[in-house]
Amino acid sequence: MILQPKNPNNRLSAEHALFVGSSGSGKTTGVKQVGVINATDQVALFDPYLDYEALCGREIRRYTSLAAFARALFSARATKTGRGFKIAYSPKDGANAKNLEAFSRVIWGAGDGNHKKPLKVVFEELAKCVTTSGAARGAFGEILTGGRKFGIHAICIFQRGQEVPKTVMGQCSIKWVGKQQREQDAVYLAREIGLPVDKIIALPKFHYLMKTDDHNIGQFDEGKLRKLAA
Ligand SMILES: Nc1ncnc2c1ncn2[C@@H]1O[C@H](COP(=O)(O)OP(=O)(O)OP(=O)(O)O)[C@@H](O)[C@H]1O
Ligand SMILES: [Mg+2]
C-alpha cells in the first residue's frame, strides 16, 4: 500500500532545488550554506554515504532501517508546534533505485498541504538511483511533479545533468551549478538551465552560479562557498 499525502493546497509555491557539479565541487557544502535549508526547518535526508553529520547547526537523527526512519519522520511531523528536525535514511546497501523509491514513498505519504511547515527533502546521489534520463517515475516522480501542493520541497543533488531525468531540470525552480569537469557537461547545463556556457566553464571549485524563479531570463547570482567546520 502506498501512503497518500493530505490536503492538496494549490496556493503553495514550487520550491524544488537542484545542485549539480563534479565530485568535490561543493554541492553538499552548498546545500548547507546557500539558504535552501535553515536551522528550524523540517528536513528528511536520503543520505546513503553519510555526507551529513549536522545540518545548519542541528544534529541529524540517522536510521538504516526504513521502518524506523518512517516512524521517526511521521512522529516528528505530527508535533503540533511544527518544531524543526533533521532525520536521515542511510540504507546499508547504499544508493540504488530500490532504496530511492522506498524512501520516496515514505516522503510522499508525509506530505500535507495544510502543515505549518514544508517538508524539505534532500536527495543525495540521485544519478546512482535513477534508471532513466527521460521522465522521473514512481514516488520520486510524484514528488517532483505533485509535491508542491503538499508542501514537499525536493533538493536534488547530482554530478552531471545528463544522468538525471529531465523532470528534475524542469521542476526545480532553484538551480545551483558548480564546477564541471567536461565541456560537454557545461554545454548541456547551459542549454537546460539557461546560463552562459562560458561562465559555467570558467567556474573553479567552490564557486557557483545560482538561478531562482525571481531571476528574469539572462539573470543569475554568482557566489563562492565558505569552508564549513562540519
Ligand atoms: N570554500 C571551500 N574551501 C575549501 N574547502 C572547501 C570549501 N567548500 C567545501 N570545501 C571542502 O571540500 C570538500 C568537498 O566539498 P563537498 O563535499 O561540498 O563537495 P561535493 O560536490 O558534495 O562532493 P561529492 O560529489 O563528492 O559529494 C569537503 O571536504 C568540503 O568541506
Ligand atoms: Mg556531496
pLDDT at position 4, please? 94
1 pLDDT band, cuts 50/70/90, is low
At residue 74, does pLDDT exceed 80? yes
The total domain count for the chain is 1
Do the domain assignments include residue 8?
no
Residue 133's Cβ-side half-sphere holds a number of Cα atoms within 13 Å equal to 7
Do the domain assignments include residue 99?
yes
Do the domain assignments include residue 9?
no
Choose which residue among 28, 33, 52, 123 to substitute to test ligand 1 binding: the one with the highest number of ligand atoms within 8 A of its C-beta: 28
What's the CATH code of the domain at 146?
3.40.50.300
| Ion ligand 2: residue ranges with CB closer than 5 A | 27-28, 51
Ligand 1 in reach of 48 Cβ (< 6 A): no
Tell me the mean pLDDT in the region 193-215. 96
Q: What are the pLDDT digits (tens) for 39-69?
A: 999 999 999 999 999 999 999 999 999 999 9
Give the angle subtended at the CA of 135 by the CAs of 89 and 167, to the nearest 5°.
70
Cα–Cα dist 54/75, whole Å? 20
pLDDT at position 131, please? 80
Q: How far is the CA of 205 from the centre of ligand 2 (A)?
A: 13
Q: What are the pLDDT digits (tens) for 8-31?
A: 999 999 899 999 999 999 999 999
Do the domain assignments include residue 7?
no
230 pLDDT band, cuts 50/70/90, is low
Q: How far is the CA of 117 from the centre of ligand 1 (A)?
A: 29
Share of the chain above pLDDT 70, in %: 99
**31 and 122 Cβ atoms separated by less than 8 Å:** yes
Do the domain assignments include residue 213?
yes
Q: What is the pLDDT of the chain when averaged over all its residues?
A: 95
| Number of helices and strands in the chain (H, E) | 7, 11
Do the domain assignments include residue 5?
no
Q: What are the pLDDT digits (tens) for 100-155?
A: 999 999 999 999 999 999 999 999 999 999 987 777 789 999 999 999 999 999 99
Cα–Cα dist 151/143, whole Å? 10
Quote the domain boundaries for residue 137: 17-224
At residue 161, does pLDDT exceed 70? yes
